[in-house]
């Protein structure tokens, strides 16, 4: 395997592991604990689930993979903070969205060669990209993997609480 393919494979492995871990946590909370907050007065798990779907959904056009699937989620889960009483989609719908968007991303990821990962993402113009070649698709992948890790660290606070109670 060529060195550049090794790097891509590792970045994808890191992404996959984070998606798997996060899915396990959302599933593990069940429909009972999905409304638990990560800490008193903080985001609830259901909000973070919707937020994660919306952020990953935004990666579709950003990486040139096509149109978004769930743009209606932005208003509640990106543009606004979590607020008890806000109308949200059903939990099961969000769980299905989460699985589906990640499956779709994975399919597209597997079709990209190493050289394509180094091409610009769609929020940077050709002119700017010529000056800043690191604003590429791989950069989006690394950044969104960190984004998942950040919210995983928060969700772990709920998980720890459940473990310590039982």
Considering the complex, what minimum distance in angstroms separates the CB of residue 153 from its own copies? 3
Give the span between the Cα atoms of 55 and 78, in whole angstroms: 8
Tokens of 6: 């090794």
1: number of Cβ within 10 Å: 7
- Cβ proximity to its own copies: between 30 and 153 the closer is 153
Minimum Å distance from CB 154 to its own copies? 5
Binding positions for its own copies, rule: CB under 8 A: 1, 3-4, 6-11, 13-14, 18, 38-40, 42, 114-115, 118, 133-134, 136, 138-139, 142-143, 145-147, 149-154, 156-157, 160
The number of beta carbons lying within 10 Å of the beta carbon of residue 69 is: 15
Label residues 82-102 b or e (16+ Cβ within 10 Å = b): beeeeebbebeebbebbeebb
- CB nearer to its own copies: pick between 90 and 165: 165
Of 89 and 158, nearer to its own copies (C-beta) is 158
**Nearest distance from C-beta of residue 90 to its own copies, angstroms:** 26
Q: Tokens 């968007």 sit at which residue?
A: 101
Minimum distance, C-beta of residue 92 to its own copies, in the bound complex (Å): 26
């Amino acid at each position: 395997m060529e060195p550049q393919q090794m790097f891509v494979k590792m970045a994808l492995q890191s992404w996959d592991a984070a998606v798997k871990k996060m899915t396990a946590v959302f599933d593990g909370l069940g429909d009972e604990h999905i409304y638990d907050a990560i800490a008193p007065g903080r985001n609830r798990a259901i909000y973070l689930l919707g937020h994660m779907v919306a952020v990953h959904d935004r990666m579709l056009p950003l990486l040139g993979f096509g149109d978004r699937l769930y743009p209606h989620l932005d208003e509640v889960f990106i543009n606004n903070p979590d607020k008890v009483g806000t109308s949200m989609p059903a939990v099961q719908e969000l769980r299905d969205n989460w699985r589906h968007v990640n499956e779709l991303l994975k399919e597209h990821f597997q079709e990209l060669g190493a050289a394509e990962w180094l091409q610009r993402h769609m929020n940077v113009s050709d002119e700017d990209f010529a000056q800043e070649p690191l604003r590429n698709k791989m950069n989006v992948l690394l950044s969104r993997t960190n984004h998942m890790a950040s919210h995983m660290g928060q969700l772990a606070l709920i998980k720890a609480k459940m473990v310590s109670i039982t």
